[in-house]
C-alpha cells in the first residue's frame, strides 16, 4: 500500500514537472514574440519577415547539421534556439527614428550611421534583460549574438564591430544570409522585390565578401527550399483602414 502511494506520488511529481516545463516554454515563446513585434510593428512593409527569416535560419541550420564540420555545433537544441531567437534580430530598430527607419529612399551617410546603431541597441536591450533575470536564459544569449552581429560580413567590412570570418558567431552568419535574402525578395519602402533569379545572383556575388562561403554554398545548393518558404509566407497586400 505504501509502495502504491509512493508510486502515485512520483507520477504526480513527474506530471507537475512536465506541466511547469511546458508553462516555462510557453512563457519564453510568448516573450520572444511580443518583443519581436515591438520592432516590426513600426514598419508595416515587413509583414511576415519575422516568420520567414526564422524559418530560413532553422532550415539552413538543419541542412548544415548533416555536414560533419557542424554536427557537434548545430545540435537540435541549438537549432531550436536559433530559430526562435532569430525573431529578435532587429529589436534595436525600436530606437531608430521613423524618418530614417521608414524613409522611402536611400539613406544619407549620416542617416545610415544612425541606422547602424540598431545592432548595438538591440544587443544592449537584451543584455539589460539578461541582467534583470535571476537565472541564465539560453535564448537571450543566442538572441543577443544574432541582434549584435547579424550585419557583420565575412571579410570584416560589416558592422558594428568589424568581425571577420569565424570570429562571427555561426548564429549571426546564418542570420545574415536569411536577412539579406528576405530583404532582396520583399517589398520595402525604398525598393520593389527582386525576382528569385536576381536575388540568387546577388547572394552569389556576396560569397567570401558578405557571407560565409560554406554556409552560402549550402543555401544556394538548396535554393528551391528557401524560395518555397518565401512563396508560402508571402506578405499580404496592406490596405489602408477606412471607417466608411
Place of cell 536559433: 82
171 close to 146: Cβ distance less than 8 angstroms: yes
Q: What is the pLDDT of residue 130?
A: 83
Mean of the per-residue pLDDT values of the chain: 85
63 close to 79: Cβ distance less than 8 angstroms: no
Q: What is the pLDDT of residue 189?
A: 73
> How far is it, in rounded angstroms, from Cα 225 to Cα 232?
11
Domain chopping of the chain, boundaries? 2-232
Q: What is the pLDDT of residue 181?
A: 98
Q: What is the pLDDT of residue 132?
A: 81
194 close to 69: Cβ distance less than 8 angstroms: no
Is the alpha carbon torsion for 169, 163, 143, 220 positive or negative? negative
> What average pLDDT does range 18-26 have in this prediction?
61
Please report, rounded to a whole number, the percentage of residues in the chain having pLDDT higher than 90: 59
Q: What is the pLDDT of residue 216?
A: 98
| pLDDT above 70 for 13 | no
Q: What is the pLDDT of residue 200?
A: 98
First-to-last alpha carbon distance for the chain, in angstroms, is: 72
> What pLDDT, in 10s, does the model give residues 161-209?
999 999 999 999 999 999 999 999 998 877 889 999 999 999 999 999 9
C-alpha cell belonging to residue 153: 560580413
Pick the CATH number of 2-232 from 1.10.357.10, 1.10.3210.10, 3.40.630.10, 3.30.110.60: 1.10.3210.10
> What pLDDT, in 10s, does the model give residues 93-140?
889 998 998 888 889 999 999 999 999 999 998 998 888 878 777 888
| pLDDT above 60 for 8 | no
Between 235 and 222, name the one with better pLDDT: 222
Amino acid at each position: 500500500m505504501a509502495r502504491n502511494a509512493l508510486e502515485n506520488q512520483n507520477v504526480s511529481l513527474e506530471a507537475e514537472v512536465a506541466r511547469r516545463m511546458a508553462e516555462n516554454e510557453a512563457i519564453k515563446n510568448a516573450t520572444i514574440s511580443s518583443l519581436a513585434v515591438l520592432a516590426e510593428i513600426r514598419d508595416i512593409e515587413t509583414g511576415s519577415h519575422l516568420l520567414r527569416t526564422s524559418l530560413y535560419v532553422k532550415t539552413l541550420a538543419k541542412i548544415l547539421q548533416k555536414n560533419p564540420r557542424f554536427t557537434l555545433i548545430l545540435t537540435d537544441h541549438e537549432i531550436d534556439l536559433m530559430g526562435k531567437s532569430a525573431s529578435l534580430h532587429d529589436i534595436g530598430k525600436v530606437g531608430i527614428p521613423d524618418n530614417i527607419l521608414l524613409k522611402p529612399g536611400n539613406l544619407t551617410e549620416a542617416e545610415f550611421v544612425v541606422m547602424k546603431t540598431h545592432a548595438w541597441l538591440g544587443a544592449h536591450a537584451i543584455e539589460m534583460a539578461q541582467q534583470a533575470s535571476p537565472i541564465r536564459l539560453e535564448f537571450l544569449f543566442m538572441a543577443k549574438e544574432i541582434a549584435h552581429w547579424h550585419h557583420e560580413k565575412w571579410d570584416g567590412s560589416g558592422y558594428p564591430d568589424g568581425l571577420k570570418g569565424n570570429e562571427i558567431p555561426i548564429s549571426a552568419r546564418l542570420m545574415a544570409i536569411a536577412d539579406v535574402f528576405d530583404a532582396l525578395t520583399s517589398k520595402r519602402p525604398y525598393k520593389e522585390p527582386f525576382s528569385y533569379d536576381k536575388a540568387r545572383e546577388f547572394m552569389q556575388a556576396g560569397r567570401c565578401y558578405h557571407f560565409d562561403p560554406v554556409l552560402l554554398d549550402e543555401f544556394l545548393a538548396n535554393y528551391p527550399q528557401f524560395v518555397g518558404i518565401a512563396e508560402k509566407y508571402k506578405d499580404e497586400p496592406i490596405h489602408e483602414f477606412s471607417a466608411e
